Amino acid sequence: MYHNVAIRQRPESARTDRDATFCPRPHRPEQGHNGKWNGGSGAVMRALLGIGVATALSMAAAAGPTASARIIDINGRPAGEAHFKAAPHGVLIEIRVTGLQPGPHAVLIHDSGTCDPKTGFASAGPVLDFELGRAHGYFAKGGPKPGDLPLQFAAADGTLHASLYSTAISLGDGKRSIFGRNGVSIIVHAASDDYLSQPDGRAGARLACGTIIRAPKKHK
């Protein structure tokens, strides 16, 4: 804490040559607009306020609905996982899948939560569409469907690791909820998505599938 200090100066006649050659000034803290020495306390308070706001926002985001999916390959073996977290205007999705061919892969949310390898994951149904009439693909007339997601890429070691964001779906209980009917699944396809061709952008075979399961609500 800084204090105001009164400094009594000697008369000019009492000063020596030493005073003229060496007369250091006392360090003074920053003066506020009110004329008082505040020592930068305003900056400290702003920093603390910023930390408090960031912490509150982080806690609010963490308190939203979440979901996850354990992903299996066409042989029924574990292949990865996906995590879903509600955001103010959509859903954040993080997915990690191994054992893929390097290169582009369509990643889509499908209309059923049934991931049966014996059917080649055809059991997962078509791409998710709440309105039952929209077209698949960002470039398609009447598209995209709510289950459409941006194309992703597997690295040279066959690992696909991506973070996505969708404003077309919700983890809540409204019209855009992905939990309103038969459940849903997230599927990684063998090929790229051209964002135009029906019904799935020529994405090819379904290589990996995970049933999306909503996490239980936390009671306060």
Across 57-90, b (16+ Cβ under 10 Å) vs e yields eeeeeeeebbbbbebbbbeeeebbebbbbbeeeb
Q: What is the pLDDT of residue 37?
A: 44
Lateral strand order in the sheet of 66-73: 107-110, 184-189, 206-214, 66-73, 78-87, 90-97, 160-166
Min mean pLDDT across 8-12, 81-85, 211-215 is at 8-12
Among the ranges given (1-10, 61-70, 199-208), the one the predictor scored with the smallest mean pLDDT:
1-10
Measured CA to CA, the distance from residue 199 to residue 132 in angstroms comes to 12
CB 193 within 8 A of CB 103: no
Q: How far is CA 172 from the centre of its chain?
A: 17
Q: What is the pLDDT of residue 78?
A: 98
Rounded to 5 degrees, φ, ψ at 206 are -95, 110
pTM score, whole prediction: 0.71
- For the four alpha carbons of 166, 168, 169 and 173, in that order, the dihedral sign comes to positive
Domain positions in the chain are 12-62, 66-214
Nearest to 92, CA basis, from 167, 24, 174: 167
On whether the CB atoms of residues 72 and 117 are closer than 8 A, the answer is yes
Q: Is the pLDDT of residue 119 over 90?
A: yes
The correct CATH number of 66-214 out of 1.20.1250.20, 1.10.530.10, 2.60.40.200, 2.40.50.140 is 2.60.40.200
Task: Identify whether the C-beta of residue 134 lies closer than 8 Å to the C-beta of residue 117.
Answer: no
Residue 183: both structure tokens together: 């459940």
